[in-house]
């Protein structure tokens, strides 16, 4: 059974817009770009048709995705603990620290200019096949989605949050309104196309989700 509308009382939103961010986070540390990191293992065979919780995700034409944005294990030096997530928006990469000088690297889509955020947070909770509740400010710009502000869009293949969502909170326990989530728009990976959140190919966000244990120990560093 898929989770349909957990914690709606929080008024969760998925796509950040001109509403801005309700809370602040600690400044993110600087980092050296790792785009040219040596690849240790690739996962090009994992992008086929995927049956998940009653939904059938279509296969991704992975050869149309640039190699650097496909899931792979890379050599990655970091002082962060195993299990830390590092989002490098300049590279369009998300790194999940595996330890021993390695990380799982995923291609991402990032927010358009003006909808960016950086800092340190943690994954407070996560959800499979989430509902989407766009903020009212987004509905003003896009009246066609106004009907989803209160009732939300049900989970599905066209839902902007995709197959999984992970919700980031700051060190005060406040919702940053920043999400790591899937997307049906695989061609947007590697671009600045979202309204602020970090999007991954659905097959990739399912993999990342399986690795993440919610709680303050799951640190997320977002670097602009």
- Rounded Cα gap, residues 99 and 121, in angstroms: 20
- Rounded Cα gap, residues 220 and 199, in angstroms: 15
168, 14 Cβ separation under 8 angstroms: no
Residue with tokens 């990342």, as numbered in its chain: 208
162, 182 Cβ separation under 8 angstroms: yes
- Rounded Cα gap, residues 189 and 107, in angstroms: 6
- Rounded Cα gap, residues 186 and 119, in angstroms: 26
**E strand or H helix at 149, and its extent?**
helix 148-151
69: its two tokens:
């944005």
In DSSP terms, 109 is beta-bridged to 199
Give catalytic residues, as residue numbers.
181, 197
Asked whether the CA dihedral 51, 56, 61, 66 is positive or negative, the reply is negative
Q: Sheet of 164-169: strands edge to edge? A: 39-42, 72-75, 102-107, 93-99, 85-88, 219-223, 119-128, 164-169, 175-183, 198-201
């Amino acid at each position: 059974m898929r989770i349909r509308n957990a914690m709606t009382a929080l008024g969760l939103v998925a796509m950040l817009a001109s509403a801005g961010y309700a809370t602040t986070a600690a400044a993110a540390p600087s980092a050296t770009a790792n785009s040219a990191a040596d690849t240790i293992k690739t996962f090009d065979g994992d992008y086929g048709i995927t049956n998940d919780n009653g939904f059938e995700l279509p296969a991704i034409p992975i050869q149309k995705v640039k190699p650097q944005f496909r899931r792979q294990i890379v050599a990655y030096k970091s002082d962060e603990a195993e299990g830390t997530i590092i989002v490098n928006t300049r590279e369009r990469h998300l790194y999940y620290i595996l330890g021993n000088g390695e990380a799982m690297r995923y291609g991402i889509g990032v927010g358009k200019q003006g909808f960016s955020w950086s800092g340190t947070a943690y994954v407070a909770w996560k959800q499979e096949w989430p509902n989407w509740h766009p903020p009212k400010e987004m509905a003003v710009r896009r009246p066609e989605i106004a009907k989803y502000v209160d009732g939300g869009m049900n989970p599905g293949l066209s839902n902007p949050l995709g197959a999984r969502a992970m919700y980031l909170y700051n060190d005060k326990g406040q919702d940053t309104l920043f999400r790591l989530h899937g997307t049906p728009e695989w061609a947007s990976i590697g671009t600045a196309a979202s309204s602020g959140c970090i999007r991954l190919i659905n097959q990739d966000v399912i993999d990342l989700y399986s690795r993440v244990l919610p709680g303050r120990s799951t640190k997320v560093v977002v670097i602009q």
